[in-house]
Amino acid sequence: MNLSAGDIPPVKDLTIENITENVLAINSRCPNPRMKYLFERLTTHLHDFARETRLSTSEWEQSIKFLTKVGQICTDVRQEFILLSDILGLSLLVDSIDHPKPPASTEGTVLGPFHTHEAELLHHGDSISQDPDGEPCLVICTVKDTSAKPVPGVKIDVWEADSKGLYDVQRADHKVSDGRAVLESDEKGHFHFKATVPVPYPIPSDGPVGDLLRKLYRHPYRPSHMHFMFEKTGYDHLITALYLRGDPYESSDAVFGVKESLVVDLKTVSDVEGLSAKYGVSPSTRLLRYDFVLVSDHETAVLRQKEAEKEIAKQNRHMKIVNGLPIPDVD
């Protein structure tokens, strides 16, 4: 690449009004059209934000310090920038955009920071939890496609916090995987396992994001939920979770993960005749049932294209869609 100044669009005399077009001009030689577009929009929004709020030097300095703290508290097991994205609703938004769902398929939600690759493959009926204080819960699910056909051989990750609201990786003495497992759907698209009834818990709030929540007068709690992740070649990767109806934080999740279609009514095994004997659990065991519906890669690609077309139709410029993503059409 030729980075000599002579090839670069010259910056004009900079003012509050023209700084944006000047930054875009300097960035205009970026050889990756999608990256160029993202930086064009990012710069424009960032500058518009500063102009319309008349952001002060002192506020800018506080922002620089805040972002630095967010970066510096990150470790191999703590991702404060994801937490920041979560509490601003960005994570949920990006997941919803990137994984569009047709009606009647299972919606996705935030991954959260506690998924690991350590979970063991369990058999149907095994317990994912060693927590003696957790309230026992039988989880019975099916996985189908959008034409209601069972999907066998799906790799299913499940993970949940323990009765104290902690994931295994958050415990000081964490050595073995607990509260998580990998399962596989059978030929009927069925899987079941024993777990504990999830409880609400706070997201890590001892860092800059926790400070921010307090300044915004927000609590750090997530409502009770159990995470699920579904992977099978040919199907769009589904990251989701089930939430318990009636949780005190159901309508104020700190990370905006709750969607109505993912809220379930917890039952009791004795509610369903014969279930206790069939699954070999006590009749008083709580019961969580859910039928997941996966979307094929093809359906997802078609939907993504359609949604991208809807979006660019709103924009007053020539755009095209490459791999499902909009970029300006300069041909």
Within 258-297, the residues that bind its own copies by CB under 8 A are 258-261
Q: Cα 92 from chain centroid? A: 5
Examine residue 45 and tell whether it contacts its own copies (CB under 8 A). Answer: yes
Q: Which of 23, 151, 226, 244 binds its own copies (CB under 8 A)?
A: 23
Within 97-116, the residues that bind its own copies by CB under 8 A are 97-99
Examine residue 322 and tell whether it contacts its own copies (CB under 8 A). Answer: no
Examine residue 300 and tell whether it contacts its own copies (CB under 8 A). Answer: no
Name which of 89 and 283 has its Cβ closer to its own copies.
89
Q: Which of 91, 105, 142, 300 binds its own copies (CB under 8 A)?
A: 91
The 10 Å Cβ neighbour count of residue 307 is 15
**Calpha distance 63→49 (Å, rounded):** 13
Within 134-173, the residues that bind its own copies by CB under 8 A are none
**Calpha distance 174→157 (Å, rounded):** 19
Q: Which of 242, 253, 276, 286 binds its own copies (CB under 8 A)?
A: 253
| 312: helix, strand or coil | helix
Stretch that binds its own copies, among 26-34, 121-129, 167-175, 273-281 (CB under 8 A): 26-34
Residue 106 exposed, middle or buried by CB count within 10 Å (0-12, 13-18, 19+): buried
Stretch that binds its own copies, among 64-72, 128-136, 185-193, 289-297 (CB under 8 A): 64-72
Within 181-240, the residues that bind its own copies by CB under 8 A are 215-219, 221
Nearest approach in angstroms of CB 176 to its own copies is 28
**Calpha distance 197→161 (Å, rounded):** 9
Examine residue 302 and tell whether it contacts its own copies (CB under 8 A). Answer: no
Angle between helix axes 208-215 and 57-72 (nearest 10 degrees) is 140
Nearest approach in angstroms of CB 128 to its own copies is 26
Name which of 205 and 296 has its Cβ closer to its own copies.
205
DSSP string, 257-283: ---GGGEE--EEGGGSTTHHHHHT--T
For β-strands 238-244 and 263-264, DSSP reports them as parallel
The 10 Å Cβ neighbour count of residue 254 is 21
C-alpha closest to that of 146 among 102, 183, 190, 107: 102
Which positions ≥6 away from 321 have C-beta within 8 Å?
A: 305, 308, 309, 312, 327
Examine residue 70 and tell whether it contacts its own copies (CB under 8 A). Answer: yes
Q: Which of 289, 302, 307, 320 binds its own copies (CB under 8 A)?
A: 307
Name which of 175 and 217 has its Cβ closer to its own copies.
217
Nearest approach in angstroms of CB 193 to its own copies is 27
Task: Say if residues 254 and 217 touch (Cβ distance below 8 Å).
Answer: no
Nearest approach in angstroms of CB 19 to its own copies is 5
Q: Which of 33, 74, 150, 279 binds its own copies (CB under 8 A)?
A: 74
